[in-house]
Amino acid sequence: MSATRSPKVSERVAPKPADPQPPKKKRDEDDGPDFATLLHAWIESHRASLVDSLRRLGKQPIGSFFTCLVMAVALSLPMGLSLLLNNVERLGGSWQRAAQISLYLNLDASSKDGEALRDEIKNIPGVAEAEYISRDQALEEFQQQSGLGEALKELPQNPLPGVVLVTPNEVDKPALEALRQKLAEMPKVQQAQLDLVWVERLAAILKLGDRFVFGLTVLLVSALLLVIGNTIRLHIENRRTEIEVIKLVGGTDSYVRRPFLYMGALYGLGAGVLSWGVLAFGLDWLNDAVVGLAGLYGSDFALAGVPVADGLSLLLGAVLLGYIGAWIAVARHLRELAPK
């Protein structure tokens, strides 16, 4: 009897456990703070430094004011001299009129010839203005200025030629000489005269004034850097222990430097505002005497105030000087502030 084979009993297979999911990474731990968080922290740090600098300056109002006043006086001197030179250039019209080229026309040149020549000269490059004086006008002016009116009336004819007065764009000796040569070759021109000696004297005076202002500016800027550097150094010494503790707990050099840079910029801003006020008041006070003196000579000349563009440049320059002076002072003493 053959044995029957029993069917295989199907084995129950237990379900496989699910693969364990890797834990989600925390964004803050692995990727670090996002850009918005960093930007907010940066802005908050600068705001806190600015507020701290304002608070410390406010605790010493008298000392801060006199520091700004010393800086303002140093800033006012070169700027004031520069403004005075600009006002002097306006006296009597312009410096260019001192270098006019006089074109004496032929005696047979008519008034139409003179006017046509004047119009032609106005279109020449390097010419700012051209004015034609007829023979009759020249004779009338000569009679009034010389006091020989009755004697000149006895002359059979007018001996004076017509004149074209040419005002150049700039006072430059080589350019003026080239322009004079060109005008002398024009038709109906008998002689072209230019007072080159006066032009050289004028150029030398202007050059001397520019160099004096530049040299004074360099000296006073150096003095300003020393003043602001010494002031910031005193603030650093007063906070030496605090700074050493900050560096001991991991504070960076930029974090330590930031309040002092704001303090230097605030000193510069205060000095710029005071300097602008001093210049405006000084020019207004001096203008009364200038107007009175000009009135005695029949002139309506008056000093111009401080232009807005120059005032804004003064403010910007003062802030930059304060910032640079503070940076130099902090950089010099930062190495000494390491924790011991």
What ranges do the domains of the chain cover? Answer: 45-92+202-337, 97-195
- Position 274 scores a pLDDT of 94
- Position 153 scores a pLDDT of 63
The string of pLDDT tens digits covering residues 173-208 is 788 888 888 888 888 888 888 877 776 776 788 788
Q: Which of 69, 92, 88 is nearest to 80 (CA)?
A: 88
What's the pTM? 0.63
The string of pLDDT tens digits covering residues 44-94 is 878 888 888 888 888 888 888 998 998 899 889 888 888 887 777 666 445
Q: Residue 248: in which H helix or E strand, if any?
A: helix 240-248
130 pairs with which residues across the strands? Answer: 166
pLDDT band for position 13 (50/70/90)? very low
Helix pair angle (196-238, 61-90), 10° resolution: 170
d(CA 130, CA 148): 29
Between 223 and 153, the higher pLDDT residue: 223
DSSP 8-state secondary structure symbol assigned to residue 249? T
Q: 97-195: which CATH number, 3.30.1330.30, 3.40.50.300, 3.30.70.3040, 3.90.79.10?
A: 3.30.70.3040
